[in-house]
Every structure is written in structure tokens, then in C-alpha cells.
A and B are shown apart, each in its own frame.
Chain A
């Protein structure tokens, strides 16, 4: 079975950077690495995704290890609105997404 693991929880201070890790121990060579976040009783919201190279968008940055066995989601300046459960996931362009265990991010003012 695929093992996509994340720390259960992390804490950050407002305005500081946050690095959320994910281990992709059984990822296939063609699967993309995706990150979503979820607020209580809502559907997941897309954050970012990539294949091999690091990626940046207006929400976050994604750093992918050279062997693709791990990735890190980087929030450059955490705000209170960034408090959520963050999920990494693996999946191809037409394939299903398999979600990681999720990290509950708390942001302190």
C-alpha cells in the first residue's frame, strides 16, 4: 500500500514561514505531488502541485526532493487564515488522488 505520511500537527506564529513536510515512500515516477488544505466541514482547496521541479504560486512554494521521496510545502508568511489541515497527495493527470495522513496547522497571533 502507498505510504504518504505527514506529521499530525504543527504550530507556527503569524507572519513567520512554515515548512510542512510529506514523505512519499512509494510514489511512482509519473505521479504528481499535490497539496490541498481543508477547513472544518469543507471540501479540500487546491494549493499547489509539481512533478520534479520546485514550484511557486501566489499561495505557496513546493520543494520536491531529488529522489521524490519527500516534499515540503512552504507558506512564506503564515496568517491566521492559513490555519487548516494540510494534505499532500499523489496522483497522475488522469489518475485518482491518494491522500496523505494530513497535518493540522495552528497559527498563533
Chain B
């Protein structure tokens, strides 16, 4: 249980275009999902908290107009990188927590496999 998927797994786009990344909780409902970005040989950096039915909460320094987050259902959050530039090339990872899980799983976040974005 507690599986999170992401689509696509990798994407290449031209500079100036927009790219949408999907994050799905496959066997549980997630009122909150998280989006991270990871540069090569670096740790994960939290970008934003995605809240179902309300606005996302962005971390300091993350442009909300550039990284659009939509959490329209309890199993799907999307991250759209608008007007992508080469510096946006990175590994984007989402995570979710199962709010109905009991025991130790209650505090555990489950991560998707990540999406590799390359902007040319």
C-alpha cells in the first residue's frame, strides 16, 4: 500500500514552453501533497505544499507564478513549470501522506519516483 506515482518520468522541452507533471496517490487519498526539487548530487529542497481544494503554500524563494500547483482531487496534484528555462532543469519529486493510516505509517511520507525535466 501507499504508492505514489508520477507522470511523465522524464520530459525534454524547449525553452519558453510549459510542462505539466502529475503526482497521484494510487491506493489512498491525500489531502496534502508536497513538491520537491533536486539538483545533481544535492539534497531534496521543498518547493511547496499542495492542499486539496485550496491554494498551495510555497517555500521562500519559490515563484508561485512560475511553478503552478493544482490539487483538484484527493488523489492528484499537478505541478506546471511555466515558461521553462534551462535553469529549471532538475529532478522533481512529489510525496504524500496517508492521513487515515494507523500506527507508524501516520507520520510517514511516501515519495513518487520523480520526473527528470530537461529544458533545452
Contact = CB atoms under 8 A, between A and B. Distances in A.
B107 A49 contact: yes
Q: Which of A36, A43, A44 has the most CB of B within 10 A?
A: A43
Nearest to A95: B49
State the main secondary structure of chain A at its contact with B: loop
Interface string A17-61: 000000000000000101010000111111001000000000000
Interface residues of A, number: 22
Contacts of A32: 107
A100 B111 contact: no
Contacts of A93: 97, 106-107
B34 A96 contact: yes
Interface string A73-84: 000000000000
B106 A97 contact: no
24 contacts: A34-B107, A34-B108, A41-B114, A41-B116, A42-B113, A43-B4, A43-B6, A43-B93, A43-B114, A44-B93, A44-B95, A45-B111, A46-B108, A46-B110, A46-B111, A49-B104, A49-B108, A87-B43, A93-B106, A93-B107, A94-B32, A94-B97, A99-B44, A99-B46
Interface of B: 4, 6, 32, 34, 43-46, 49, 91, 93, 95, 97, 104, 106-114, 116
